Structure 1
Amino acid sequence: MTMSNYQELLKQREELEAKIREARETELKDAIAQVRALVAQFDLTADDVFSSGKRSSKSSGAKVAPKYRNPATGETWTGRGKAPKWIADKDRDQFLIA
């Protein structure tokens, strides 16, 4: 490949990148117009369109009643998460709260 071919290819690339930018801008304007029309037609809010998909449950963050009690200290544990040392590797039935 000679230098002139290389220069020609670089020029073609620049021209092609310019055409790509122009096409994107035109299509982007059309897409924004369509989105705005749909938002207006259905009276949508940003939350409607861009919701995170996460739904909070009513029990989210709610306290859970303790299920186990350490008879020596009165310390309790719900049975969720990592077990405390006083109940780890032991029969948990003996620590159940009635």
Structure 2
Amino acid sequence: MATYLELKAQADSLLRQAEEARRAEMKVIIDQIRASVAEYGLTPEDVFGSKRAIRRTNTAQTSPSAPKYRNPITGATWSGRGRQPEWIKGKRRERFLIET
């Protein structure tokens, strides 16, 4: 039966071999991709899509909600979304509605 150190050495050797095989295969794949790009005249936008579309999907642009409630003493407002402010907690909201 092999010892721990022998097995660890074998594992390290296998990891090195696997990394070498990956690099060799990656070189072939990259050469194929470069040949295809040159043959068809592809641009980065053709391959990866436009940066504008990526930005649009990653960042959600929302506008702030209009206030629905107003504190008659301080004039502070609240849209009804998120945490309730202290001045409205436990009270009837109808009293604070902003009339439109």
TM range (shorter): 0.5 to 0.7
Choose from 43, 58, 61 the match for 1:54.
58
> 5+ residue gaps in structure 1?
none
**Separation in 2 of the partners of 1:38 and 1:73?**
67
- Percent identity of equivalent pairs: 40
Q: CA RMSD in A?
A: 3.6
> 5+ residue gaps in structure 2?
none
CA drift of 1:95 comes to 0.8
Q: 1:34 to 1:85 in 2, by over 3 A?
A: farther
* Count of residues in correspondence between the two structures: 92
**Separation in 2 of the partners of 1:85 and 1:10?**
62
Q: 1:35 to 1:81 in 2, by over 3 A?
A: farther
TM-score (norm 1): 0.61
Q: Where in structure 1 do 4 or more consecutive aligned residues deviate above 2 Å?
A: 9-19, 30-42, 44-53
TM-score (norm 2): 0.60
